[in-house]
Structure 1
């Protein structure tokens, strides 16, 4: 066994006699980074959405949750939605969606889906709180929620009574659960992989 191990080490340590030439990379141009302001530093983005005009980043920074950048030139356009637990404020955001003239944020700690109106002008954007839908009456943990259709909401989490089999998804009408799913409601096992992280 020792002879076999010795022969193996010798064979592996032999070189082919070729020299290693370190690769040379041509420097095309200098790349510079610039921090506009320490106030705009975002350490951890929770979510992001894009529409025809703006990029919306969901991250807790400087006491606000939504940071907006111009889609065409990347310029910072402002921060919105205060951190807190009052009306229109967000404590622990987990998802962001933008659809035409509405922006929605799910606050996991308050178990609320908050809706804001978007008013766009050629050089400005105004985000105003409209209303919220509470999921606190649900049994279990709601991690995220989305507007599914008019007045229908889809939620993701560990849902249902603890003494029964918990469900992953539930469909709500804003007041009560209409239907529960163990997995995402799709036909065929091959499609389920797409919805592991809806």
Structure 2
């Protein structure tokens, strides 16, 4: 097993705001502003529909036609029974198998579903439980060959805060427990960070909400950091088990969306945590590509391989609440 525990104790982080070579304004195109959308824990898109992980009418997943915005189906009941989910916290769409994976943090298990277009519902396929293994699993994503990427505390050594594990058939193949800051009291910031796995399952990005640190990982037989970008320092306090911002806190990444070529993000880059009006893209080496100023507040976003240069998003406003939009990047 490969274990990486090294820290950055001897390295002083240097922060510099991102500099994007391309800056544009984006106009949103409303897909629907009449759908009932609650708080979203994830979203994805295929050739026909947009899928949202959001608890609405006791169902965890809703599907909307990406052209008309009409409800195309829903399912995955809230509950503790077979195929049911208590607390869906991470959402992944496998483009090869066309399967949807929902990680239930409450029951520490990942459920897999297939969308039936005719029945307009989600059919339960399989479930993987992590509750029999020592340690906590905060989030999980499926990899190739029955392996999983775990954000949690699995493994023999559960002392201290851990980060990522590669898990397969009951064994931990590799661990990555480095934190990119020298002040260990700020490590909990990375447990609440946004994370996104590329469709090819070979890459992952992690971006902090408090401050702005963006990490890029390569996934194979182990977990390797490929790039770390320091944009805004982690001005935050940890008290009573909670992260508390200070008057110096600059907010960073509120949402991430990975493709095989690029990472898209909602980058706040402001002391006001409600400034969700900037979509920024990076390549997988961590280089800035483009910044798009949007005409709406973007709560979550997703992209697909078939819709090149197009993003789909959940926008939010006081008048409309949550609603679906698309952005044409060119």
**C-alpha separation in 2, matches of 1:86 and 1:74:** 31
Instruction: Kindly state the Cα deviation for residue 57 of structure 1 after the two structures are TM-superposed.
Output: 0.7
State the Cα RMSD in Å.
3.0
Q: Which has the higher strand share?
A: 2
**C-alpha separation in 2, matches of 1:80 and 1:132:** 16
After superposition, where does 1:98-109 map in structure 2 within 5 Å?
98-100=93-95, 101-109=98-106
Corresponding position of 1:22: none
Q: 1:131-155 CA deviation, whole Å, 9 max, x = no partner?
A: 1111113333211111111211111
Q: Which has the higher helix share?
A: 1
Determine whether 1:190 maps to 2:228.
yes
Equivalent pairs counted in the alignment come to 160
CA contact (8 A) 2:41 2:54 kept: yes
Instruction: Kindly state the Cα deviation for residue 107 of structure 1 after the two structures are TM-superposed.
Output: 0.3
Corresponding position of 1:55: 50
Q: 1:60-108 CA deviation, whole Å, 9 max, x = no partner?
A: 1111100110012211112211000000000000011112421110000
The structure with higher relative contact order (CA 8 Å, sep 6+) is: 2
Structure 1 residues 46 and 126: CA distance shift in structure 2, 3 A: same
**C-alpha separation in 2, matches of 1:159 and 1:175:** 10
CA contact (8 A) 1:186 1:192 kept: no
1:95 to 90, 95, 105: 90
User: Can you give the 5+ residue segments of structure 1 that lack an aligned partner in the other structure?
Assistant: 1-30
Instruction: Kindly state the Cα deviation for residue 163 of structure 1 after the two structures are TM-superposed.
Output: 5.5
SS in 2 for 1:140: coil
**C-alpha separation in 2, matches of 1:67 and 1:163:** 37
Structure 1 residues 115 and 139: CA distance shift in structure 2, 3 A: same
User: Can you give the 5+ residue segments of structure 2 that lack an aligned partner in the other structure?
Assistant: 1-29, 179-216, 218-222, 232-254, 257-330
After superposition, where does 1:1-198 map in structure 2 within 5 Å?
35=34, 41-100=36-95, 101-120=98-117, 125-160=120-155, 164-183=159-178, 184=217, 185-190=223-228
Structure 1 residues 174 and 118: CA distance shift in structure 2, 3 A: farther
SS in 1 for 2:143: strand
TM-score by length of 1: 0.69
**C-alpha separation in 1, matches of 2:69 and 2:156:** 46
**C-alpha separation in 1, matches of 2:134 and 2:90:** 20
CA contact (8 A) 1:160 1:166 kept: no
Structure 1 residues 188 and 97: CA distance shift in structure 2, 3 A: closer
Instruction: Kindly state the Cα deviation for residue 120 of structure 1 after the two structures are TM-superposed.
Output: 3.7
CA contact (8 A) 2:155 2:172 kept: no
CA contact (8 A) 1:159 1:166 kept: no
TM-score by length of 2: 0.43
CA contact (8 A) 1:140 1:162 kept: no
